[in-house]
Chains A and B, each alone.
Chain A
Amino acid sequence: MKARVTVMLRDGVLDPQGEAVRHALGALGFAGVEGVRQGKLIEIDLAATDPATAEAEVRAMCEKLLANTVIERFTVEIL
């Protein structure tokens, strides 16, 4: 079973890297880019076969390590 974790900065936390990408896109002539947020995508291979168990496990991983919930939020997809 695979899990896909997306970690993004919380809304309201300024994302300097996203801002730099937004400026670069503007410089390349892409008009109308109103905002860019850059995050992380983490794919995990799991031994678990039950989706509910897998999701609970991955959520615990996010809380303990994969995301810093002071500044980041995460979503978990079980594939």
Chain B
Amino acid sequence: MKAAVVTFPGSNCDRDLAVAFAAAGFDVTRVWHKESGLPAGLDVVGLPGGFSFGDHLRCGAIAARAPIMAAVAGFARSGGHVLGICNGFQVLCEAGLLPGALMRNAGLRFVCRPERLVVATADSPFTHPWAAGTQVDIPVAHHDGNYRADADTLARLRDEDRIAFRYAGNPNGSADDIAGVLSENRRVLGMMPHPERAADARLGGTDGAVVFRALAAALATV
């Protein structure tokens, strides 16, 4: 199985994301944002956390228009899997690959701490090992994680069971406690919490590793 992790100027979780993919059995290629194509035979693209382009204009706005993103959009449209974490989630929203937007935290503070999440759906390649309602601990570290979408979009996300994770205790004011959402085909996941930071027992828990192992298992049966 092949994963690519994109690095933008200002990404800072790209290596951790590559390590988490590798631990779940992926061959990982690192891709620079100025490249125009993705490696052949790819199964998943990871968009990492960080502060791409210094968060200028809006978080993820400039990265979403980087050359590599046309290839990522094409990959997603053709049924490829994409995992965007934190800044990667912001990039996916800015690129229009996921609905909604991530605004400044309601409390105006950067929030960096372990967070309890509720798995909102088991119906995705990223969450299938869990039962809906399972509580997991995955850390957050963001200033702009306050998920917003209009009422129709929120209703559609609920009706289509596309909310992947909710916060047990909302740290940022997100609508409907949303911590992560899925695309219509359920193969693109954007989430503010960092599963790659909870993917090793020596470093803050292993709940996050489930996301990567789940994806590996799902891809093995495709």
Contacts and interface: CB of A to CB of B under 8 A. Distances in A.
A binds B: yes
Interface of A: 13-14, 16-17, 20, 64-66, 68, 70-71
B61 A71 contact: no
B103 A71 contact: yes
Given A68-B94, A70-B148, A70-B149, A13 B61 contact: no
A71 B148 contact: yes
B17 interface: no
Contacts of A13: 103, 148
A25 B108 CA distance: 17
Main secondary structure of the interface of A (DSSP, over half): helix
A14 B65 CA distance: 27
B149 A65 contact: no
B146 A16 contact: yes
Contacts, number: 35
B148 A66 contact: no
Contact of A16 (B57, B62, B65, B104): B104
Contact of B57 (A14, A20, A65, A70): A65
7 contacts: A14-B173, A16-B146, A17-B108, A20-B108, A68-B61, A70-B148, A70-B150
B107 interface: yes
List 7 tightest A-B contacts by C-beta distance, closest first: A70-B101, A71-B101, A16-B106, A16-B104, A16-B108, A68-B101, A71-B148
A49 to B, nearest CB: 27
Given A16-B107, A16-B108, A66-B57, 8 more contacts: A16-B105, A17-B104, A64-B65, A65-B61, A70-B93, A70-B149, A70-B150, A71-B148
A58 to B, nearest CB: 15
Contacts of B58: 68
Interface in B96-132: 99-101, 103-108
Contacts of B104: 16-17
A76 B215 CA distance: 45
Interface string B164-206: 0000000001000000000000000000000000000000000
Contact of B65 (A17, A20, A65, A70): A65
